[in-house]
Each structure stands twice: as structure tokens, then as C-alpha cells.
A and B are shown apart, each in its own frame.
Chain A
Amino acid sequence: MINTLFDKVWDAHVVRKIEDGPDVFFIDRHFIHEVTSPVAFLGLENRGVGVMYPKRTFATADHNTPTIDQHLPVKDPLSANQLETLERNAGKYGISHWGLGDKNNGIVHVVGPEHGITLPGSTIVCGDSHTSTHGAFGAIAFGIGTSEVEMVLSTQCIMQPKPKKMRININGKLGKGVGPKDVALFIISKLTTSGATGYFVEYSGEVFEQMSMEGRMTVCNLSIEMGARGGMIAPDDTTYDYLKGREFTPKGEDWEKAMAYWKTLKTDEGAVFDKEFSFDASEIEPMITYGTNPGMGIGISKDIPDAEKVEGGKSTYDKSLQYMGFQEGEAMKKKKIDYVFLGSCTNGRIEDFRAFASIVKGRKKADHVTAWLVPGSHIVEDQIKKEGILDILTDAGFELRQPGCSACLAMNDDKVPAGKYAVSTSNRNFEGRQGPGSRTLLASPLVAAAAAVTGEVTDPRELL
């Protein structure tokens, strides 16, 4: 039978089909964190049921955690309460928990892959939309709401209609200074924030085949920003090399068995998608957003388009530009910026810090810029130190913070003040996302680094 990668993994997890209804869909791995799980645990108590498979469940603290002085008690009492509630619930039900200060702690979508919990052909959910990240391994991974967190805790299943299938092909070779984040922002700018709603996306073509695992995670992470349920990339040697020997990956004979299965996980020749798009890698340049959703992005050398050329209607567009303090037809280059944020589940991995360092090496941070460099996990933090990246950053006048979601959604103290501009490697530029009134320009680590040293929006190709 001719099938897509998505079909193969989805169909292998259907416990039961309901007529004119959703599939009962089995979940192999469930990640939980402090924000979207407490009400789900309360629900379990109210129903008088327990956690069905604690060993398939993994808890980490990330959304609320401070990025300095993590050895001290958390100051915000509400954040502290959520973190303690997670720890208590994990302990009560026998779920492994990487709390604040644990050497394995970090952002849920960074630590999952690092420990080999994320495997090809598996299904992964978490009460966080960027769960789509794990699709980089050829898994079906997506975000769920708290009612569904309760469902998975209590039954290891959710009820989901099977999404439609989309394939995005990009062939050719990416230009100098163009990375995975630019590829993702480019695709979203083409498809818009609702262009893939109802679909599950497979990324294929030379660009993704040649991409590192970190890069693939960045691309799949942003799938949700065009409305997709998730994105996935067929596993290959890059995937297996990354996974081999990690703590939770199969070992010995089990590894061989798993590999034999994983090698079947690719879209068959002639398989049909509900929708397909193709782009050429040479079309893509370093990207930057100018508006208040991730679809409002352009090549860094371009001007802000007129309302007629974008989706969303004139009034929505005007509202967006007014919030940002920008005008139609203006250039993004040379715009003065105030903050730089390197981190998040999109760009908080070692490769992102290497990229950032490649630009700042031998240069100095612009005086007026506040830079928050936040690794995605303690393991990334250790790598930064081990590889000498920390020295490069420190010499250039930067400081490294401690891991967590940080200014991506500003649930902790890392908030961009009202009216200030932040070049951010995170995933959303919604109004107030990085703090009430903050103005976010989404970009790659290279663009963020170029902005951090020049104090304005700068094409990183000029500094490479």
C-alpha cells in the first residue's frame, strides 16, 4: 500500500475508529509542565482516577522559571506555587520530574530530544503548541489543551480526527547566512498564519535532508505558526546519529529492531497529499518580521509591504503596524532596537548559540542593547561553556542566563518593557507576547546577533 510518512505513524496508533467521530489515538510519550497540568491533575482527583502510564509521562519545569539565581527560592508566589504543584503531582503519581536546579532541567521541547525520549514513529503530546518540535524525528507530535492533558494522564489516549496532509518541498541550496529559522519564517510568510490549519505537514527536499537535527527541530517547532497541527521530517542517518546512545533510546538488540522499523518511515513514491507546495532554496534570504503575527515576515533587505499585498484586511493590518510603530513601505534595515533575546524552544539549542557566537566573535555588544541569552537546557548551557562559546560571548560584553522559556512568553521576570523593540529568536510576535506593550521582531540567531552588536536591524551577511 502506498502511504505517506504521516499515514504510517498515525494509523499505527489508532486504538479504535469511531464512525463520524474522531479516532481513539494512542500516545507513546506525554510531556507535562507546570502551567497546563495543574487543572488536569485536579480533574483526575475529582474523577477519582489515577495516571495510567506514569513511565510514559515526563515532567519538567520551564515556562515560569527564573533565568538568574535559580538556586534561590522563586520570588513570584504564583509561579512558585505552580512549580511546587507540578513537583507534588509528579511525586504523588510516580512521574519522573526535572524540576528547577535538576541537571536535566530545561525547556520541555529541548530536553525531550536531548534524552532520547523523542523517537521516530512515536506519538508525543504536551500541553504546549510547540510540541510540533518533536516531529523533526519523524514522530507525530502536537500540542493539546488541558482537558486533553487530563485525558492522556488518565487513559494514555486522546480523541482526534485525522488531520489532512500537506507536503512542503524545498530543493536547492540555502545561501550564506540563511538558516533553518529563515526557512520556517519564509514558509509562514508565504502560507500565512492560517495557511496550514487542519493539516499535518511533511517537510521534504534537499534543504531538509541536509539540515541538522537542531535545524529540523526549529522548522518543525514553527509549523504551528501557520496553523498546522504539526510538522514532520522523515528519519534518516542524521536522526539516528543524533539519537544513538542517549539515555532513553533503545539499546543493543532493541536498537537494531527499532532501526529496522524506523527505516520504513518515509513517504512512498506516488503517495498523495491533500495539498503540496514547492519552493526553491535560492528564494530565501535572512528573514525578519515587522507585524504582530509570525506570518508578517519579509526578507531583511525588503520593505514592509502595502496592505493590499497581505492577508488579513486593511484594518487588521493598520492596527498591527500601529502597534509596532511602523509604516507601510518602510525598510526594516537600520531600525533601532532595544532588546535581543536568544533562546526558547525555537532557538535555544547549541547550534543557535554557535551561530550567534559566529557573528559576535571579535565584536562588542551595542551599548544601548539589553541582551538575554538563555540556553534551552542545562545540557546546552554546559556545551556553551565546554565549546568556549561562553568566552566569546563574555569577551563581547554579553552574559549567559540560566535555562527556561524566559522572554519567549514572559511568564517569568524577563519582560520587554512597553514600546521597546526586541529582536527575538522565539516563535511569536503577538501583541504583548514578550511583556505588555512590547514590540517583537522575530528573526534567526544570526540576525539577532547582528542586531545585538550594531544596535539596529542589520543583514547578518554583511558581518559574516
Chain B
Amino acid sequence: MAYDKFTILKSSAYPLPIENVDTDQIIPARFLKATERKGFGDNLFRDWRYNSDGTPKNDFVLNKEIYGGKILVGGRNFGSGSSREHAAWAVYDFGFRCVISSFFADIFKNNCLNVGVLPVQVSEEFLAEIFDEIEKDPKTEILVDLQKQEVSLLSTGSKESFAINGYKKENMLNGFDDIDYLQNIKEEIIEFANKRPF
């Protein structure tokens, strides 16, 4: 599924300074029963965000009015656990276009790239600085420049570059996806498949 182009994002952020945030927290299994990709944002962090009677938990970051924006900042090893792309859909559907952490679980990272959410991996030190700045000022702005592969804190001016695979970068900058690419080399794939022993 193609998505919007990603070039530069300037936004405030929601801080979630917890390590090993797993995909079951991002979207619990009972919300995986849909057969269409819509509405997942409503259940993003469902059990951290709502009480069992459906009322919001006031102390959870997504429920605090002082925060806003299109960036989610998470603790180390963000997105561990399941391969469920629903987790990335929920992040996207809530309105996030970028997740910043010091370390991502593999499949989650890949899923994000496939659905138009940019995973930005920064150093532990820079992550700590981002959390500090947001604590000081919840409206503090972060600039993510995909072309330059750079993330900066506008309040302090400190910045860090981040890595992204060149092919994935082009895809995100242009809003393309892998299937577009693969469809174009189908003959080559068929030729390859014909040689497989089983």
C-alpha cells in the first residue's frame, strides 16, 4: 500500500521513556480481528491508555493534552515481539509519521518503513537529551530531515545523523513501495523460480 511522501518533518513529540515496548502493548491481540486496514489508531497502546471500563488513564502520555505532534519518542528496543504490521498501522493511524528510539526491533522497523512511518535510531545520549528537552518543554520541536538523514532539537540546536538504507530512503521520499519495484522485474523472478529444485 503506497503512502504519503516523507521529506521533512518538524513537529513536537510524545515521550514514552520505557524500554522494550513490545508490539502487544502497541496493539493488543484482541484488536487484530479486522479484515481491513482502518481504525487501528483508536486502540494504539489500548491497555496503557484506557481503563478496562473504557475511560482514559490520565497519566498515560497519549492522554495528556500538553503533548501533541507527529513524532513518538520511545525507549530502547522499541517494537519488540510480534511481526504484526498492525502495530505499525496503529502508530501511523494515530497520526505519527516518525518514531525515534535508540534501538528498534527488526521486523517492527521494517514494517514501519513499509507503511510510511520513519524509524529514526539515535544514540542513547541524544535520546536522553530529547527526553530531557520534552520534559522541560512539552511543545519543544524536533526536525527530521530524511534527505539529509538528520534529526535536530530546535531548542538546543543539537543534532545527530541517522542511518537508513538508500533504497528505502528513496522509496520514502517518493512514496513508492516494494511491490511497485517487484512487479517490474517479474520476468526475472519467473526465470529464477523455474530453476528452484522444490
CB within 8 Å of B: which residues of A?
15-16, 18-22, 24, 26, 28, 35-36, 38-39, 42-43, 46-47, 49, 52-53, 63-64, 76, 78-79, 81-82, 85, 119, 122, 127-129, 131, 142-148, 150-151, 154-159, 161, 163, 193-194, 197-198, 227, 229, 250, 254, 257-258, 261, 293, 311-313, 315-316, 319, 409-411, 418, 428, 430-433, 436-437
Q: Which residues of B contact A82 (CB under 8 A)?
A: 33, 35
Contact with A along B90-109 (1 / 0, CB 8 A): 00000000000001111100
Please tell me if B133 contacts chain A, counting CB pairs below 8 Å.
Answer: no
Q: Is A147 within 8 A of B85, CB to CB?
A: yes
Q: Is A193 within 8 A of B80, CB to CB?
A: yes
CB-CB under 8 A for A150 and B30, given A227-B105, A293-B22:
no
Contact of A145 among B22, B29, B30, B83 (CB under 8 A): B83
In the complex formed, the residue of A with least CB distance to B182 is: A155
Q: Which residues of B contact A316 (CB under 8 A)?
A: 18-20, 75
Q: In the docked arrangement, what's the CA distance between A49 and B34, Å?
A: 22
Please tell me if B188 contacts chain A, counting CB pairs below 8 Å.
Answer: yes
Q: How close is A27's CB to chain B, nearest CB, in angstroms?
A: 10
Q: Is B47 within 8 A of A49, CB to CB?
A: no
Q: In the docked arrangement, what's the CA distance between A53 and B198, Å?
A: 13
Q: Is B198 within 8 A of A145, CB to CB?
A: no
Q: Is A411 within 8 A of B20, CB to CB?
A: no
Q: In the docked arrangement, what's the CA distance between A81 and B114, Å?
A: 26
Q: Is B36 within 8 A of A319, CB to CB?
A: no
Give the top 7 A-B pairs by smallest Cβ distance, nearest first: A21-B167, A145-B85, A143-B83, A20-B166, A38-B35, A78-B33, A145-B111
Q: Which residues of A contact B192 (CB under 8 A)?
A: 15, 26
CB-CB under 8 A for A47 and B106, given A22-B165, A53-B193, A193-B80:
no
Q: Which residues of A contact B81 (CB under 8 A)?
A: 129, 428, 430
Q: Is A36 within 8 A of B197, CB to CB?
A: no
Stretch of B62-70, B145-153, B173-181 at the chain-chain interface = B173-181
Q: Which residues of A contact B20 (CB under 8 A)?
A: 193-194, 293, 312, 316
CB-CB under 8 A for A128 and B83, given A227-B106, A316-B19, A411-B29:
yes
| 8 Å CB interface, B70-129 against A | 75-77, 80-86, 88, 103-107, 110-111, 114-115
In the complex formed, the residue of B with least CB distance to A78 is: B33
Q: In the docked arrangement, what's the CA distance between A229 and B167, Å?
A: 20
Q: How close is A213's CB to chain B, nearest CB, in angstroms?
A: 19
Q: In the docked arrangement, what's the CA distance between A311 and B80, Å?
A: 15
Q: Is A198 within 8 A of B188, CB to CB?
A: no
Q: Is A129 within 8 A of B82, CB to CB?
A: yes
In the complex formed, the residue of B with least CB distance to A39 is: B37
Q: In the docked arrangement, what's the CA distance between A130 and B168, Å?
A: 25
Please tell me if B136 contacts chain A, counting CB pairs below 8 Å.
Answer: no
In the complex formed, the residue of B with least CB distance to A155 is: B182
**Once A and B bind, how many residue pairs between them come within 8 Å at the CB atom?**
199
Q: Is A257 within 8 A of B197, CB to CB?
A: yes
Q: Is the interface of A mostly helix, strand, loop or mixed?
A: loop
Q: Is A194 within 8 A of B105, CB to CB?
A: yes
Q: Which residues of A contact B168 (CB under 8 A)?
A: 21-22
Q: Is A64 within 8 A of B33, CB to CB?
A: yes
Q: Is A430 within 8 A of B24, CB to CB?
A: yes
Q: Which residues of A contact B110 (CB under 8 A)?
A: 145, 148
Q: Which residues of B contact A142 (CB under 8 A)?
A: 107
Contact of B80 among A147, A163, A293, A418 (CB under 8 A): A293
Q: In the docked arrangement, what's the CA distance between A63 and B106, Å?
A: 23
Q: How close is B93's CB to chain A, nearest CB, in angstroms?
A: 13
Q: How close is A36's CB to chain B, nearest CB, in angstroms?
A: 7
Given contacts A147-B177, A409-B29, 5 further A-B contacts (CB under 8 A): A129-B81, A155-B179, A315-B17, A428-B24, A430-B81
Q: Which residues of A contact B36 (CB under 8 A)?
A: 38-39, 42
Please tell me if B7 contacts chain A, counting CB pairs below 8 Å.
Answer: no
On chain B, the number of residues with a Cβ less than 8 Å from chain A's Cβ atoms is 58
Q: Which residues of A contact B154 (CB under 8 A)?
A: none
Q: Is A119 within 8 A of B35, CB to CB?
A: no
Q: Which residues of B contact A15 (CB under 8 A)?
A: 185, 188-189, 192
| 8 Å CB interface, B1-34 against A | 1, 17-20, 22, 24-25, 28-30, 32-34
Q: Is B189 within 8 A of A85, CB to CB?
A: no
A-B contact pairs, 25 of them (CB 8 A): A19-B166, A21-B165, A24-B182, A38-B34, A46-B1, A47-B179, A49-B183, A52-B189, A81-B33, A127-B83, A142-B107, A144-B107, A145-B115, A147-B111, A155-B182, A157-B189, A194-B103, A198-B106, A229-B106, A254-B198, A258-B198, A312-B19, A313-B19, A432-B25, A436-B52
Q: How close is A246's CB to chain B, nearest CB, in angstroms?
A: 13
Q: In the docked arrangement, what's the CA distance between A402 and B198, Å?
A: 32
In the complex formed, the residue of B with least CB distance to A195 is: B77
Q: Which residues of A contact B193 (CB under 8 A)?
A: 26, 53, 156
Q: Which residues of A contact B22 (CB under 8 A)?
A: 293, 428, 430
In the complex formed, the residue of B with least CB distance to A192 is: B77
Q: How close is B54's CB to chain A, nearest CB, in angstroms?
A: 12
Q: In the docked arrangement, what's the CA distance between A37 and B18, Å?
A: 31
Q: How close is A192's CB to chain B, nearest CB, in angstroms?
A: 8
Q: Which residues of B contact A194 (CB under 8 A)?
A: 20, 76-77, 80, 103, 105
In the complex formed, the residue of A with least CB distance to B178 is: A159
